[in-house]
A = this chain, B = another copy of it.
Amino acid sequence: MKTLITSRSKSVTIDSEGPVTMIGEKINPTGRKRLAAALTEGDLDYVIDLAVRQVDDGADIVDINVGVPGLDEVKAMRDVVAAVSDAVDVPLCLDSPSHESVAAGLDACQARPLINSVRGEEASMKEILPLVKEYDASVIALLLDEEGIPETAEARVAVARKIIERADSMGIPIEKIVIDPLVLTVGSDSNAGRITLDTIELLTAEYGININLGASNVSFGLPDRHTLNQAFLGLAIGAGASCLITDVAKMAPTIHAADLLRGRDQHGTRYIKYFRAHAPKDD
């Protein structure tokens, strides 16, 4: 399945049959004090620099989350989206639970970005899906609803089905939806990874739909997180994940390796090109 995401000058296709699409996660002030301060002070240069560096590192899409407590998020989203759209040519992912903020980002970017996200809750579907329709955008669907995050793969698939069917009834085709099956840390429930992998496999078999994952949560609270995150990427990509919201500088080598190893990188062109551009220089 192909999900087309555009900026004013460029398009990216999230493709369940292609290489993995990488969304740079760093423009998100949660746990990033320097960014929170920059957003509060309106220091757009700092935010633009974060966007440029992620694109240099290989991000296909850049996530924009401006959620700082006390900040006028609608204004901040509008300003940041406009500034980042001028600075980099890749499409954006508008990351906010607020439909007002998402709408401001949609107005500012003048393209068909990815909205992050709709949930299986009535209120969320009612607010976000009309924006997807109106702006011909695409949307990440998080598999949780009024009851929270379902504990079984089958119950998560049921939430996906609800969102897909609601969208369909509004004239939004399935390829506009990218499912995020969610992953909790195996540090508190050692079945957490298995549930997410099963959800990906069930959705891939039933719908062939694009799957996004923010895979680093899986290792929270455990030692040697990078090894866990790398191993999970291999498992999740093998199961059917086609899009990752991630620290691109850190995870791109593993993602490019996985693409090459499963035959999504003819002649290893992308792998070699990435390695040449980013390997430590000898000179």
Contacts and interface: CB of A to CB of B under 8 A. Distances in A.
A231 interface: yes
Interface in A210-239: 218, 222-224, 227-228, 230-235, 237-239
B227 A193 contact: no
Nearest to A221: B268
A126 B232 CA distance: 42
Interface stretch (A105-113, A116-124, A184-192): A184-192
A224 to B, nearest CB: 6
A194 interface: yes
A279 interface: yes
B238 A235 contact: yes
A20 B186 CA distance: 18
A22 B160 CA distance: 38
A44 to B, nearest CB: 35
B218 A231 contact: no
A254 interface: yes
A193 B237 CA distance: 14
Interface residues of A, number: 39
Contacts of A262: 193-194, 197, 235
B228 A231 contact: no
A244 to B, nearest CB: 13
A193 B254 contact: no
A265 interface: yes
Nearest to A271: B222
Contact of A238 (B239, B257, B265): B239
Given A234-B233, A238-B197, A228 B186 contact: no
B268 A222 contact: yes
Nearest to A258: B231
A267 interface: yes
A265 B194 CA distance: 11
**9 nearest CB pairs, A to B:** A234-B234, A194-B263, A193-B261, A231-B257, A238-B238, A235-B238, A231-B258, A228-B257, A227-B253
Interface of A: 186-187, 190-191, 193-195, 197, 218, 222-224, 227-228, 230-235, 237-239, 253-254, 257-258, 260-263, 265-268, 271-272, 275, 279
13 contacts: A187-B268, A193-B261, A194-B262, A195-B263, A197-B262, A218-B261, A222-B272, A224-B257, A224-B279, A227-B253, A230-B234, A234-B235, A235-B261
